Amino acid sequence: MSNLYYDEIDSPIGALLVVFHGDDIVRIDYGTMEIMEQRLKKWTERYFTEPVFIKSPDKAAPVKRDFDDYFNGESKAFSFPFTFHGTPFQKQVWQVLYDGIPYGKTTTYKDIAIKIQNPKAVRAVGGAVNKNPLSIVVPCHRVIGSSGKMVGYNGGLDKKEYLLTFEKNNAS
């Protein structure tokens, strides 16, 4: 049995569902446990033995502070530990997203494919970006199409536009 702790954090773009395994964050999704529970169960069953969800506002308090600082424009990065759970290819893409896209900037799926030394993997990169388990922290919202247009975002294009505008306005 695997205990997974969670809490819901209010943000300017709606509720964020934060899930921990031990001290590490393993997922951050848009929505509440009520909305996300079935999808979350399906995901966690791939990586954890008999997952049990336990609401834990105390455990989430430092994460909430980090998100408050981010959305108040006081911090451009997050300090809490996290762990990726996915395929080796997905983890490679997510690491490039995390390490390689500066706050307030954007990149393209093609640029990421080139960074992972697999320039023909643009569609596969798009699939990995779409499966990013750590919304906002791993900044998939900073990925745009090669044409410069906004393209899909799990949280919805309205949230993506909000985050990009917010970061651009607070980048200096």
Query: Catalytic: which of 17, 25, 128, 140?
Result: 140
Neighbouring residues of 35: CB distance < 8 A, sequence distance ≥ 6? none
Q: Which of 65, 72, 37 is nearest to 51 (CA)?
A: 37
Both tokens of 106, joined, read 């954007």
DSSP string covering 65-97, please? HHHHHHHTTS-SS--S-B---S-HHHHHHHHHH
Own/partner pairs for 101-104, CB < 8 Å, 24+ apart? 101/139, 101/142, 101/143, 103/76, 103/77, 103/139, 103/167, 103/171, 104/76, 104/167, 104/168, 104/170, 104/171
Query: Is there a catalytic annotation at residue 140?
Result: yes
CA–CA dist 101, 58 (Å, integer): 31
Active site residues: 140
